[in-house]
Chain A
Amino acid sequence: MKDYLILIAGMGFVTFLPRWFPLFFLSKREIPKLLIEWLDLIPAAILSALLIPALVVGGEPKIMAFKPELLASIPTFLFALKTKSLGGTVVVGMALYWLIGKGLLPFFGL
């Protein structure tokens, strides 16, 4: 148990550090305008970098594949674009993915 405590304390420390450093130091400084403009683009970049591989890359070793995640993502994306509702998109996305998993979508001509 002692070894385990050291392990999770170490993991916790190295996880906390990058989360904490910019918030602690950047919030007290003037941030250069160019950096602000760059940081402004970071969320779109990160979200896309997190999302797109989850839709089209699978397997071990990794390969590009046509996944049900991708099929469900198209109507989910359109729903999000139309409604701008986070909760609604989550529920609709889950329902679509579930239906695709059940093989029900062909019955609706999709």
Chain B
Amino acid sequence: MTILEGLNKTFESKIRLGIMSVLVANESADFATLKALLGLTDGNLASHTRSLEEAGYIRCEKKFIGRKPNTTYIITQSGREAFTAHINALENFLRECKS
């Protein structure tokens, strides 16, 4: 089966794929928004964003709003490309299944 070629290992986790979906649609999102949208705990979200950051697909900006720390995640160009490639691979797979 060569069909699954082009699938990205980083996006195997549903949560990481969810994070990327949100960021592709919105460019950036803060920690609380992501947490609420995906229904995750702090620690869980943090570990997944860290792995995406290490892959260079997202970057994070930390700043203080008043006294509260605020973390915003922003999608990088390579992240956008990787995500698009992954979606294309999934769609190709479906197309080949149907034909």
Same assembly: no
A residues bordering B, Cβ < 8 Å? none
